[in-house]
Structure 1
Amino acid sequence: MAPASPDGLNVLILGGGISGLTTALALTKFAPANKVPRIQIFEIRPEPATIGGAVNLTPNALRLLDHLGALPIIRERDYGRTIDYLEVFDVYTGKLAESDFSGPDGKGLGDPPYKALRITRGDSLKGVLTALEQHENITLTCGKRTTKIEETADSVTLTFEDGGSATGELLMGCDGIHSATRLKHVEPERKAVYSGVSNAFGFAPIEKDFQVHFECTAINFARRGMLLTSFFSPKKDTVYVGGLMQVADIGSRDGWKSVGADADKTRADLLDRFADAKIPCIKPLIEKTQDFYLWPVFTLSKFGKWATDRVMLLGDAAHAMPPQGEATGIVFEDTVLFSRCLTRWIEKGRPNTMKEAFDAYEKLRRKRIEAAFEESKDVVRTVSDAGVVGHTIKTYVIPWFLWWTSGNRKKHFIEDVTTVDIGY
């Protein structure tokens, strides 16, 4: 791959997770051929975090991973399991609905067609990291904690806890919900707020003759939460089990860590919520799950500041919200659309200031993010504790809601933001 060009931008990225890595790939892919940026990524952890649960990569997410060169690597390594359709169950009465990814001819959605992929966060990150290694213009440095961000009319400088520093023309804050970029520079007063729900997840090894009630992925609604059960590899020898449920605020990050470290307590809580399910495999799957983790879901307010003159927030750093089925795809769209706006500004000869490209991106993106934020509120309501009557109403509403919103979902799934008109 081509090295950085002397005429390319000098870009700093805070955050070595999926958002920061795909931002680096997108800025490289969409840069003018003779102006490839020099990109330095700084991650606070001692190494990229390849642990975590299993995520659903929707067709639009896979399309963008393909554009960025990561999907072929994921396919070659046989990471993940393809989802033709997602099944929705009431744990007491049975199947409620399906959400289809296979398209009218069974090949997927869009042109070219893509289905969905259930994959661990670790495997998806490994695929992106391997794609990143093919670009000489990108470097990733781990173990860097940012203590100060200073911005001038011409540059942005990061100062690190170890005494080092880095200076660039552009800083991308891709450092998640507790973003140092946002809290130290862009909008310090905009802090993460606990949503009221948490995700308890782990992995359950199963025997070959173990019977499950789903083809690949099932969302199982109960009176006191929602349990996701899914295969995530072609072997089908392990099931991802994740419970999204209403949990009282513990009040501190250390408190959450302490409670989350007690896997037996988390398992007991899940059994208390879901063991009365009439679906036979639910209780044994919870019992078989190893090393449960409890992950509180934090959010940001719907509106907020995304940028200064030379600093831009992307992904959860800008607009964290409860999971609503398309979160990862939204992050990938952020990175590609921002990169296209920045490239257009460069191609126009860098008129005025870089903020012109930032404003174009925000004008393009705000409406979509605000709509997704409203959708995420429905998730919180749906997984919150309910009595028998409330849950019964929920089982009638969910199929109707999936039908009512299917058109918008399909529109998002087939959209290719690498070619959509960015209006700039």
Structure 2
Amino acid sequence: MAPASVEGLKIIILGGGIAGLTTALALTKFAPEGQVPKIDIYELRPELATIGGAVNLTPNALRMLDHLGALPIMKERHYGRTIDYLEVFDVYSGKLAESSFSGPDGKGIGNPPYKALRITRGDALKAVIAAVEEQENITITCGKKTVKIDETVDNVTLSFEDGGSASADLLMGCDGIHSVTRLKHVEPERKAVYSGVSNAFGFAPIEKDFKVHFECTAINFARRGMLLTSFHNPEGDSVYVGGLMQVEDVGSRDGWKSVGADAEKTREQLLERFGDAKIPCIVPLIKKATDFFLWPVFTLSKDGKWCTDRVMLLGDAAHAMPPQGESTGIVFEDTVLFSRCLARWIEKGKPNTMKEAFNAYEKLRKHRIATAFDESKNVVSTVSDAGWLGHTIKTYVVPWFLWYTRSYREKHFIEDVTTVDINY
């Protein structure tokens, strides 16, 4: 358990989601000895949200969660389902390719080795919350809406809708794609833009004798979208069903909430798009799902401002992009690399201003994020509606692309940003 320290920085984190909580853990773990920060997390919602779809935690993501103390909790509570390999299918003709996480000896990728884990967002967050609750220097306050951010040479102050306020040495904006930190302070003109695709997801309970076409996780391409089908718990009695597909913009966040609330209409859309699948279990899984949610995928422009002198954006608040298989791992690496840069600045005796640590982090991270952003563009084009010819071309391109990029992906799966030279 990390002891609180009166000598450490006072830090505010806006956002009680996975990015904000792992940032708090990383800032605590990598703080110099005797300099553990006092961290206050403020969340807009009345309570921390433990709902959502299912995510794939790649080897690099699991490595970071292990360092931060959350992975042991996931294992202890039997959260998620280990993935040896991801399978890729054409819903009309069958299996196209595999992407393995098993490594050369079948134990995983990297040293120590990790495979991948398909886990619900809710379970992932519960494990991270449990790890945060073990730290005496971190407090979480829910139901706080920030209406104003003021920054001076000495500190940054948040004003809340309820009339209260809070000040700190550093503000971390981990408040997602529609970040208040970004929109009210860092770069107000950089607003989220709808990508043109949405994610429709639900969970289908299945019987023991229900036959599926995959070992653990499958990406199923169709002419009008991509359907992810995956186990997400050790029992294998439930399948996550998530459709990424081209959906016309409804024009407002309230409009999206209204559309997303109509579960049966979303189910009908999925059946319309994937109902002609030749894989026998596809349609029954869509029909079995107990509920469906529709979430529009918003993005930010590729280049943008991440910080001021005392405020830093991390995760989706800084660089939201379409899902490209590594998004969650990228966020965890953000938190660790930033925390290491900040710790080095403190160890150096806090020369100049905190911006020096910010600049070191951006120098490390900007290129990696730009590359990931370019990769994510392929996702949007791959799941957009296509005719027969376009889809046929896709079935040839996807296996080739997985083969061609294998070494590149494994390079990132192996990397451990807790030890990489930060050159600062």
Normalised by the length of structure 1, the TM-score is 1.00
Q: After superposition, give the CA deviation of every residue in 1:121-158 in whole Å (9 maximum; x if it has no partner).
A: 00000000000011000000000000000000010000
- Give the residue type in structure 1 aligned to 2:284: P
- Give the residue type in structure 1 aligned to 2:421: D
1:381 is aligned to 381
Q: Secondary structure at the match of 2:393?
A: helix
Structure 1 CA distance, aligned partners of 2:258 and 2:199? 15
Matches within 5 A, 1:10-409: 10-409=10-409
- Give the residue type in structure 1 aligned to 2:342: L
The Cα shift of 1:423 comes to 1.2
Structure 1 CA distance, aligned partners of 2:52 and 2:142? 18
Q: After superposition, give the CA deviation of every residue in 1:292-329 in whole Å (9 maximum; x if it has no partner).
A: 00000000000000000000000000000000000000
- Give the residue type in structure 2 aligned to 1:118: R
Structure 1 CA distance, aligned partners of 2:179 and 2:356? 24
Q: Secondary structure at the match of 1:13?
A: strand
The Cα shift of 1:334 comes to 0.2
Q: Secondary structure at the match of 1:402?
A: helix
Q: Secondary structure at the match of 2:204?
A: strand
- Give the residue type in structure 2 aligned to 1:213: H
The Cα shift of 1:4 comes to 1.9
The Cα shift of 1:290 comes to 1.3
Structure 2 CA distance, aligned partners of 1:378 and 1:344? 37
The Cα shift of 1:6 comes to 1.4
Q: Secondary structure at the match of 1:291?
A: coil
Structure 2 CA distance, aligned partners of 1:2 and 1:332? 20
- Give the residue type in structure 2 aligned to 1:227: L
Structure 1 CA distance, aligned partners of 2:349 and 2:224? 56
Q: After superposition, give the CA deviation of every residue in 1:397-419 in whole Å (9 maximum; x if it has no partner).
A: 00011111111100000100000
**Is the CA contact (8 Å cut-off) linking 2:22 and 2:128 kept in structure 1?**
yes
Structure 1 CA distance, aligned partners of 2:210 and 2:395? 27
Q: After superposition, give the CA deviation of every residue in 1:314-362 in whole Å (9 maximum; x if it has no partner).
A: 0000000000000000000000000000000000000000000000000
CA RMSD of aligned residues (A): 0.4
Q: Secondary structure at the match of 1:25?
A: helix
> Taking every aligned residue pair, what percent have the same amino acid on both sides?
81
**Is the CA contact (8 Å cut-off) linking 2:15 and 2:173 kept in structure 1?**
yes
The Cα shift of 1:2 comes to 3.3
Q: Secondary structure at the match of 1:148?
A: strand
Structure 2 CA distance, aligned partners of 1:283 and 1:211? 12
Structure 2 CA distance, aligned partners of 1:171 and 1:2? 21
Structure 1 CA distance, aligned partners of 2:72 and 2:13? 25
Q: After superposition, give the CA deviation of every residue in 1:132-186 in whole Å (9 maximum; x if it has no partner).
A: 0110000000000000000000100000011111000000000000000000000
The Cα shift of 1:5 comes to 1.1
**Is the CA contact (8 Å cut-off) linking 2:205 and 2:288 kept in structure 1?**
yes
- Give the residue type in structure 1 aligned to 2:99: S
Structure 1 CA distance, aligned partners of 2:344 and 2:191? 32
Q: Secondary structure at the match of 1:89?
A: strand
- Give the residue type in structure 2 aligned to 1:290: T
Q: Secondary structure at the match of 1:290?
A: coil
**In terms of mean alpha carbon deviation, does 399-408 or 51-60 score higher?**
399-408
Q: Secondary structure at the match of 2:39?
A: strand
Structure 2 CA distance, aligned partners of 1:14 and 1:116? 29
- Give the residue type in structure 2 aligned to 1:128: V
The Cα shift of 1:7 comes to 1.1
Structure 1 CA distance, aligned partners of 2:318 and 2:415? 22
Q: After superposition, give the CA deviation of every residue in 1:360-416 in whole Å (9 maximum; x if it has no partner).
A: 000000000000000000000000000000000000000011111111100000100
Q: After superposition, give the CA deviation of every residue in 1:198-248 in whole Å (9 maximum; x if it has no partner).
A: 000000001110000000000000000000000000010010000000000
- Give the residue type in structure 2 aligned to 1:366: K
- Give the residue type in structure 1 aligned to 2:39: I
Structure 1 CA distance, aligned partners of 2:145 and 2:422? 35
Normalised by the length of structure 2, the TM-score is 1.00
Q: Secondary structure at the match of 1:336?
A: helix
The Cα shift of 1:33 comes to 1.5
Q: After superposition, give the CA deviation of every residue in 1:254-286 in whole Å (9 maximum; x if it has no partner).
A: 111111111111011100000100100000000
- Give the residue type in structure 2 aligned to 1:149: I
Structure 2 CA distance, aligned partners of 1:67 and 1:3? 18
Q: Secondary structure at the match of 2:292?
A: strand
Q: Secondary structure at the match of 1:329?
A: helix
- Give the residue type in structure 2 aligned to 1:314: L
The Cα shift of 1:3 comes to 2.5
Structure 1: gaps (5+ residues): none
- Give the residue type in structure 1 aligned to 2:414: I
Q: Secondary structure at the match of 2:323?
A: coil
